[in-house]
A and B are shown apart, each in its own frame.
Chain A
């Protein structure tokens, strides 16, 4: 497995700037997850690394070699596509062995490697089937197998789980992560699902409009979001953003807004009155939506069942507050 380095990578489509000068280094065996809303440039980043698009400027360095202008077929990078992109006219075994065959490996070698990978992924029974005869989860596995069997320098995942149903997604998520760690595969993983991002990543890039808003470990990003965008993007339900109009806030600089996660809002008999307008019991916890005296909306996340009252008194513990600059949105 290899290290990957991106140096001021930029991509413009005509006058539109899709990726704005991104710098990034991946350690060997690291799983880096790129998360962001659609259109933020995360797929473009992946395609640039794969060589399916060429960058407007900047360099891509894989294992110490500059591959910026190398043909995608010679980069030794494997990619798992959102729609799996399995070759419909080939069997599972042929799909997995395709790259090996092109590389000129012998039939015995190919059969051996394919069988081994198939065993790893539990695909043994399916080797003679065609993609059309497989379920979504099985296709996903084959796509993984096709990438793994090559033992490439780098893995790219382009929203590989978004076509699966919710339950399968959770299992596959864990399985991909387990495989990735076990095989020590350096990986770039694109997703728009923040749970996937949080659970799978060694490090996370939150992208916004072609820029990396923050690159850090998932917990760092959760605990210390670099700006308002990251604060609201990571965490569910999203962080509450309040104007410091409420008397409850002391020592807040001018031109600042306050963020507080729904689970950090405290119940306090001397606090502000929250007029509840919606309660969502989720079983182990309950989401409470309401309005503060200043008219601002607030979301609470409390363990246990519904409170059974129409108003609550709440306060905001000083150490749970995130303070952001109003104009730049940056953390203060």
Chain B
């Protein structure tokens, strides 16, 4: 169904879209342009002189082994967060798609983590995982210290970031499950399919468009929206073990004061976002068509 309102004249329509355009300009286009500008310049440590250096920042970046290890770390982190969050989201959605007693409560509680601010959720995880005072961490023995052990730190940030995203995936999977006509599942049952077989042959293929959509959303989330949680939990440490690309942008730019190099990283990230989002739009379009 197409719903369209045609406004007369030009002034009113322009006024109506002006706020959104202003927001986009001030918070997206302008900073992006500044980032591109800074990526091709070098500023001295005191900020007193800026010179044009062309693509030097990028060549330096791509030659830096630390950058590539951060890229690799980010890939592992994104894949783990997306996988865990999507699997759990789908699992919970499947549970509550049935007629359980109190399923409305269950659903409400599952959606809550999404409403918690990233830094606050990190604080909650610290309270749980801290080796000395954490309600769980203190029982995990002397070898548990995510402040010293890089693998443990990575595990912790993955858990914390995935936890927040489970809600989102849950909502989408639940909606997708409820959009599957009940008679389809019943027909499959009468055809002799049960449990996992039925899920694998009927439900899962019908969830596939949702899965593709969520995969892109989750990758984007894990890559770009997890700065707050990681920074509050581990600050990128120990020894850079949880330094994903967004954390590195911050570290290099604000702590390391390498504005040009940091801006070059931002631009590289920006290209990645554009790629991921265009991928997402292609899936979205396909979903609308089918």
Please state if A72 and B183 are interface contacts (CB–CB under 8 Å).
no
A118 CB–B CB distance under 8 Å: no
* Residue among B183, B193, B197 making CB contact with A85, cutoff 8 Å: B183
Bound CA span A102–B202, Å: 12
Contact of A72 with B188 in the complex, beta carbons under 8 Å: no
A79 touches B187 (CB 8 A): yes
Question: Would you call B190 and A98 a contact (CB within 8 A)?
Answer: no
For chain B, residues 135 to 192, give those with C-beta under 8 angstroms from any C-beta of chain A. 181, 183-184, 186-192
User: Which residue of the partner chain, among B194, B201, B206, contacts A73 with CB atoms under 8 Å?
Assistant: B194
Minimum CB–CB distance from B80 to chain A (whole Å) comes to 29
Which residue of A51, A75, A85, A103 contacts B187 across the interface (Cβ within 8 Å)?
A85
Given contacts A83-B181, A83-B183, contact A98 B189 (CB under 8 A): no
Q: Which residues of B are found within 8 Å of A85, using beta-carbon distances? A: 181, 183-184, 186-187
Rounded to whole Å, the gap between the CB of A164 and the closest CB of chain B is 17
B204-223 interface (Cβ within 8 A of A): 205-206, 208
Tally of contacts, chain A with chain B, CB under 8 A: 59
A82 to B181 Cα, complex, angstroms? 12
Q: Residue of A at shortest CB range from B201? A: A98
* Docked pose: A141 CA to B202 CA in angstroms: 21
Residues of B near A146 (CB, < 8 A) are: 191
**Is there an interface contact between B188 and A98, defined as CB atoms closer than 8 Å?**
yes
CA distance A86 to B206 in the complex (A): 12
Report the Cα distance A103→B181, complex, angstroms.
24
Chain A window 67-78, contacts with chain B (Cβ cutoff 8 Å), 1 for yes, 0 for no: 000011111011
- Residues A98 and B183 in contact, CB atoms below 8 Å apart: no
Minimum C-beta distance from A44 to chain B (A): 14
Interface magnitude class on chain B: 10 to 19
Hey, which chain A residues are within 8 Å of B290, CB to CB? 132
Which residue, of A50, A73, A75, A78, has the highest number of chain B Cβ atoms within 10 A? A73
Check A98–B191 contact: CB distance below 8 A: yes
Q: Determine if A229 is an interface residue (Cβ-Cβ < 8 Å).
A: no
In the assembled complex, the Cα of A89 lies from the Cα of B201 at a distance in Å of: 10
Q: Once the chains are docked, how many angstroms separate the CA of A71 from the CA of B192?
A: 9
**B194 adjacent to A150 (CB under 8 Å):** no
Complex: A103 Cα to B190 Cα, angstroms: 12
Do residues B183 and A89 form an inter-chain contact, with CB atoms below 8 A? no
Pairwise interchain contact B192-A99, C-beta atoms closer than 8 A: yes
Distance, CA A239 to CA B183, complexed state (A): 37
CA distance A100 to B84 in the complex (A): 35
Cα–Cα distance between A71 and B195 once the two chains are bound (Å): 12
CB of A87 within 8 A of chain B?
yes
Complex-state Cα separation, A160 to B114, whole angstroms: 44
What are the residues of chain B within 8 A of A150 when measuring CB–CB? 191
Report the minimal beta-carbon distance from B287 to chain A, rounded to whole angstroms: 13
Report the Cα distance A72→B183, complex, angstroms: 13
Would you call A99 and B191 a contact (CB within 8 A)?
yes
For the complex, give the distance between the alpha carbons of A79 and B183 in Å: 10
What does the 1/0 interface line of A39-58 toward B look like (CB < 8 Å)? 00000000000111000000
Q: Which residue of B lies closest to A102 (CB)?
A: B192
Q: Is A81 an interface residue (CB 8 A)?
A: yes
Residues of chain B lying within 8 A (CB to CB) of residue A132: 290
Cβ of A88 under 8 Å from chain B: yes
Q: Which of A74, A87, A103 contacts B184 (CB 8 A)?
A: A87
**Alpha-carbon gap, A44 to B188, bound state (A):** 19
* Cβ contact within 8 Å between B193 and A102: yes
Q: How far is the CB of A240 from chain B (nearest CB, A)?
A: 40
Bound complex: CA A313 to CA B30 (Å) = 92
**Across the A-B interface, the 6 shortest Cβ-Cβ residue pairs:** A99-B191, A85-B187, A85-B183, A89-B205, A102-B192, A81-B183
22 A-B pairs, CB-CB below 8 angstroms? A50-B190, A51-B190, A52-B186, A52-B189, A71-B194, A72-B189, A73-B189, A73-B192, A73-B193, A78-B190, A81-B183, A82-B183, A83-B181, A85-B183, A87-B184, A87-B188, A88-B206, A89-B208, A98-B201, A99-B191, A102-B192, A102-B193
Chain B residues within CB distance 8 Å of chain A: 181, 183-184, 186-194, 197, 201-202, 205-206, 208, 290
Known: A52-B189, A88-B184. 6 other contacts (CB 8 A): A72-B190, A78-B191, A79-B186, A98-B193, A102-B191, A102-B192
